[in-house]
Structure 1
Amino acid sequence: MPIKVVISSLSLFSLLFYSLLLLLLHPAIARGPHHSSLPSGLLNATAHSGPARLLFQDTTQPHHSDDIDRGYMTNSELEKAVKDFGDRCGSISRIYSIGHSVNGVPLWVIEISDKPGQEEPEPAFKFIGNVHGDEPVGRELLILLANWICDNYMKDPLATLIVENIHLHILPTMNPDGFSLKRRGNANDIDLNRDFPDQYLHFADDIPFMKSNGQVNFQFFPVNNDMDARQPETIAVMNWLREIRFTASATLHGGALVANYPWDGTEDKRRYYYGCPDDDTFQFMASIYSNSHRNMSLSKEFPGGITNGASWYPIYGGMQDWNYIHAGCFELTLEISDDKWPNAIELPTLWEYNKMSLLNLAASLVKVKAGRTFADYHRLIPPAERYEVVATMPGYKSKTTCISLGETAMTLDFILDPEIPTMTYLHSVNNDCHCIESGKPSLERFWRLHSEVYLILIAILALLCILLKRRIKSNMLNHKQLPKRSAQT
């Protein structure tokens, strides 16, 4: 039973180059949201060094001018842009809908790949924009991203890398009704980023997790588990993740300039840094986006331009934590604009500031090309660490190995042996952990992977030897039985 595990290490070498180049060309200081006072619903800013944000949903709606959406695509124009993209770039794309909004607007998705719609042993990444109706920058930037990749495929190495090595899915708007109404919530005035099943965290021994300091068990708060009360946009995203296993993802928001990572909430609902089991990986992913950005990493409010969600302000029912727990999808919440709804003339600048961040974050999944074998699995982990990797499959014996991961990714191949009834006499399987350095497989691993082939070759050679021996013996007998010829004078 062959199983391939793809362990991806995230490297910053190329990303730092792009960031340095951008900083040299456009030196600037990052701006954060300004708060002149603490209105009702905000936490006391003295409780944390970061900026105060909404702990619970603020039901008051901002007062927008009638022409604030001037220059932004309407929902109809956005739908046309998506379909036009599909017509123009059909060889590397697929257009599909994951559902509808409350008012029946289709939730269109653009898939970009050299083999769109096909199952491949490649990681999948998704971008989601416009989760909050009054934060529309993401929907504009994601259409620009799709078109840039299409225009630069086979011309730019980064665009080609993404198309040929991952399946990129782009949902420009999750909340088209909220956009039309110019408000945060959807048509039912529900904040979609508070509508997902929530969770609390406690340590237990029944569910293993990839972490050396213990085992973790996740459960959701029952108060947010009523599927009948959930919004159609939320249900559409949840069903989407049941159909496609995403390795990583990001949602685009507005109102600050920072890359946010799990956990978003705490077990006791207080505000403090609450890291998840993959905290190092999430910090690395967030840093990829921040360091590739025009000025996010220069933030004076968020060191390095990144933040733990619970440390910033706890939220519950968020999509980010649900992705991580439910589907093992490593999701970031990206605040890409200080202004939630900036003037449309700023969109080209915002695109230039965020373009490399969007591309590099998606490309961070591409570190190794997996083979076409059954049970491919992709896992993001930070480099320069020692990990124990266990491959399990019902009906087969598990196997374990250790790896020392460097800056490059590595592929592990496991051949699992079927479970045999205990009455059969077998040698015990050695599951000792032998460390494998990245890119330097041991001789023992090489022998283990090819032992079956060697055994077959040995059997064939033995059979050939037996046949050859019989042939020689037969020839000798025939020679002895030949009649003697008389000498002639």
Structure 2
Amino acid sequence: MKLILFLLYISLTLSSVLSRGGLSATRLLLEENHSHNSDSIDKAKGYMTNYDLEQAVKDFGRRCSNISRIYSIGKSVNGFPLWVMEISDKPGAEEPEPAFKFIGNVHGDEPVGREITLLLANWLCDNHMKDPLAKLIVENVHLHILPSLNPDGFALKRRGNANNIDLNRDFPDQFFPMNNDEDARQPETRAIMTWLREMHFTASATLHGGALVANYPWDGTHDKRRNYYGCPDDQTFKFLASSYSHSHRNMSLSKEFHGGIINGAFWYPIYGGMQDWNYIHGGCLELTLEISDDKWPNANELPTIWEYNKISMLNLVASVVKTGVHGRIFSSDSGRPIPGSITIKGINYMVKSGRAFADYHRLLAPGKKYEVIASAPGYKSKSTTIWLEEEAVTVDFILDPDETLEGNLLRSICDCGSGVTTKFYWRFHIEICFFLVIVLAFLCFLLKRRTLFTLGKQRQPPKRSVMI
């Protein structure tokens, strides 16, 4: 009997590779191949299967099409699409607004995030016309939700993916040379990395299970020892983590984690994690949220877990517009937006502005004075000092061109990357060339007249040419 089942599994797997139509059967088989284990049946009871999740995402897209868009960032090892729900009043459009992402089910045996993110999406759909916080998020943020990064691990009821790789150890690491070969990484990891190259997120969070705490970078140390190791934005991360913890029903009351937050390296060091990679390479401030003491709680506990985390999740998304300093960068000579960057004096971290609108969104801990510096290739940097209270501050920068030869060269290179500004400089160069042609034609006319005048006076002694 076991041999027959094994041959049936191989047959269905091969058919899914050869034909797209066999994919659903393979997914269901993967989800059910442990069904003889009573513990697995009890554990998964009440949770959406991968097929259920896919249908729920698509149903949400149809029901809330006016504020959402459904897309996939890739596929898992076994070919399951990694579905994303984007929520915005203009989904899919590029706007001068911050973007936030939630990612659930990074570890296959931590499925609460799958359920909670769907509940969040549907709550926003139902309340964005009547709830002020929901309205703020939909109208001012592009929220992207990936309910399951590891659908294969969920189907197999284990931590790793189909190749039994821990996806939260599969990213390039800043401390030790590991996972540097992109082709050797898992498809789920590559999908996240490609996603962040295509889209700039201001902040994000991954949802895990097994504890109740908001974890923030760094996740590792140089010597692999368990020590507090803060990143340049340590104060901002503690502010964001504390905001989540104190909005939660009981996370901040934790006896294990002071205030319900903890630095990753001080908790236990990990390497190849998504959180640090997001901050270093994606320009994205990411928290790792442990939202349930039990990795896989009974499904009847999900409504309670959702209620405990709802306001925290909403406040975290809203923080990308309600706090920090925001604005755009413009050129003084053309008046057009120019791609640049924002730095804060004393914090060794740079935030790039958007390509199309040159908008920036810099999260900072409130209650302090900051010197904000804007710069762009070929332009003189400018700075201003702000006092950041609880509310966000808006500062637009107008940069003057750097008139040095090197600055003009750099500015030309930079402007070639921006569509509208490139047209301006091409037009400027054409006008210069046209002017030079006019001048050259005039000089030729004068030379011809001079020659005719000289021939008319051949009897006069020639004059000596003078070069100045």
State the TM-score, normalizing by the size of structure 1.
0.68
1:461-480 aligned at under 5 Å gives the runs none
Deviation at 1:336?
0.4
Structure 2 partner of 1:51: none
1:284 aligns with 2:239: yes
CA distance in 1, matches of 2:378, 2:174: 31
State the SS of the aligned residue for 1:365. helix
1:233 aligns with 2:188: yes
Farther off after superposition, 168-177 or 367-376:
367-376
CA distance in 1, matches of 2:373, 2:319: 24
Equivalent of 1:128 in 103, 112, 118: 103
Deviation at 1:371?
7.0
Structure 2 partner of 1:91: 66
1:215-226 aligned at under 5 Å gives the runs 221-226=176-181
Structure 1 partner of 2:302: 347
TM-superposition CA deviations, 1:45-103 (whole Å, max 9, x none): xxxxxxxxxxxxxxxxx994333101000001100000000000000000000000000
Percent identity over the alignment is 76
1:387 aligns with 2:342: no
CA contact (8 A) 2:368 2:387 kept: yes
Deviation at 1:367?
2.3
Structure 2 partner of 1:118: 93
Structure 2 partner of 1:166: 141
Q: What amino acid is the match of 1:82?
A: V
CA contact (8 A) 1:64 1:182 kept: no
1:39-54 aligned at under 5 Å gives the runs none
1:141 aligns with 2:116: yes
CA contact (8 A) 1:122 1:370 kept: no
CA contact (8 A) 2:159 2:166 kept: yes
1:410 aligns with 2:365: no
CA distance in 1, matches of 2:395, 2:327: 10
CA distance in 2, matches of 1:386, 1:265: 30
Q: What amino acid is the match of 1:223?
A: M
CA distance in 1, matches of 2:143, 2:178: 34
CA distance in 2, matches of 1:342, 1:126: 24
1:140/1:397 CA distance change after superposition, 3 Å: same
CA distance in 1, matches of 2:186, 2:94: 29
Q: What amino acid is the match of 2:372?
A: V
Q: What amino acid is the match of 1:183?
A: R
State the SS of the aligned residue for 2:320. coil
CA contact (8 A) 1:128 1:170 kept: yes
1:273 aligns with 2:228: yes
Aligned length: 343
Q: What amino acid is the match of 2:375?
A: T
1:325-474 aligned at under 5 Å gives the runs 325-367=280-322, 374-421=357-404
Deviation at 1:395?
1.4
Q: What amino acid is the match of 1:261?
A: Y
1:409/1:230 CA distance change after superposition, 3 Å: same
State the SS of the aligned residue for 1:114. coil
Equivalent of 1:105 in 80, 84, 100: 80
Farther off after superposition, 315-324 or 382-391:
382-391
1:308/1:165 CA distance change after superposition, 3 Å: same
Structure 1 partner of 2:43: 68
CA contact (8 A) 2:327 2:395 kept: no
1:241-252 aligned at under 5 Å gives the runs 241-252=196-207
Equivalent of 2:279 in 324, 329, 352: 324
Q: Which runs of 5+ in 1 are unaligned?
A: 1-61, 201-220, 425-489
TM-superposition CA deviations, 1:198-233 (whole Å, max 9, x none): 003xxxxxxxxxxxxxxxxxxxx3222111210000
Q: What amino acid is the match of 2:111?
A: P
Please list every run of at least 4 consecutive aligned residues from structure 1 whose deviation after the TM superposition is greater than 6 angstroms. Answer: none
CA contact (8 A) 2:105 2:113 kept: yes
CA distance in 2, matches of 1:301, 1:140: 26
TM-superposition CA deviations, 1:237-289 (whole Å, max 9, x none): 00000011000000000000000000000111100111111000000100111
CA distance in 2, matches of 1:63, 1:290: 36
State the SS of the aligned residue for 2:297. coil
CA distance in 2, matches of 1:398, 1:423: 15
Deviation at 1:370?
5.4
CA distance in 2, matches of 1:347, 1:414: 46
CA distance in 2, matches of 1:386, 1:359: 27
TM-superposition CA deviations, 1:142-164 (whole Å, max 9, x none): 00000000000111111111000
State the SS of the aligned residue for 1:78. helix
CA distance in 2, matches of 1:80, 1:224: 34
1:245/1:423 CA distance change after superposition, 3 Å: closer
State the TM-score, normalizing by the size of structure 2.
0.71
CA contact (8 A) 1:139 1:172 kept: yes
CA distance in 2, matches of 1:301, 1:370: 40
